Structure formats: C-alpha cells, structure tokens
Amino acid sequence: MNNIFSITNTTRGEVPGVDFLPIKDSVLGKKYELSLVFVGDKKSQTLNNKYRKFNKPTNCLSFSLGKNSGEIFINLGKAKKEAPSFGMKFEKFIIYLFIHSCLHLKGMDHGSIMEKAEEKMLKIFK
C-alpha cells in the first residue's frame, strides 16, 4: 500500500480479497489520493443523514476532499445483503460499488453515461 491509497476496515466483517489499487488508478489516476473505509450500518446512516439528509444506511458514499483527493465509504453488511438483488456475488458487488464511487469522485452523476462507464470498468476488473 502506498501513501496515496489507504484502506481501513472499521467493521468485524471480512473485506473481499480485491486489489482496489489498479481500479483506483484506472478511474482516478495514479496521483489521486484516496481513502477507502469499510463501515457498518450505524456509520453509514450517520454520514448519509449528515451529508445527504437521508436518515438511513446506504451501500456507499463518496466525498471529494479536493481536486485530487477523496474518501469512499462502503457499507459491508448492506453490500452483502444487496448483492443478490443486483445479480452479483458479494465480491463483484464490492468492486461495482468501488467503481461507482470512484466515478462519482471523477464528477459523474447517475445516468446512462455513468452506467456505461461502470459496465466497461466491471469487464476490465472482473
């Protein structure tokens, strides 16, 4: 791990053995500073309520901290529950959420352009 990318697991859950760094570098660039934090429902709900005014846990949140830095929070428990409804295994869904969050940090909004970018990245990093 380098100082440009850090991963923290604040849960008791196990993080899938995914190499997130190449995905980060591919979407955001090698010089982008990123912190990836795995959280549970409580922290996810607190952040979602504070910053988005939705008082419920969510599967992922991304926050831009500057032009070349950001932070992503992925809710492991919620991702595990939601993966089947997205037609994905848990590990693939975590990759999808990470890609999704990175694309938000890149400035993309939900819609067909973002979905095409997600599909393209998922094929590369399956």
Beta-bridged to residue 63, according to DSSP, are: 71
> DSSP secondary-structure letter at 75?
E
Angle made by CA atoms 14, 16, 20, in degrees to the nearest 5: 130
Beta-carbon contacts of 42 under 8 Å, excluding residues fewer than 6 positions away, are: 57
18-54 confidence digits (pLDDT tens)? 999 999 999 999 999 999 999 999 999 999 999 999 9
pLDDT score, position 126: 78
The pTM score is 0.94
- Do residues 40 and 73 make contact, with C-beta atoms less than 8 angstroms apart? no
Number of folded domains that form the chain: 1
Residue-range definition of the domain harbouring residue 75: 5-124
Q: Can you give the CATH number for the domain in which 90 is found?
A: 3.40.390.30
Q: How far apart are CA 95 and CA 92, in angstroms?
A: 5
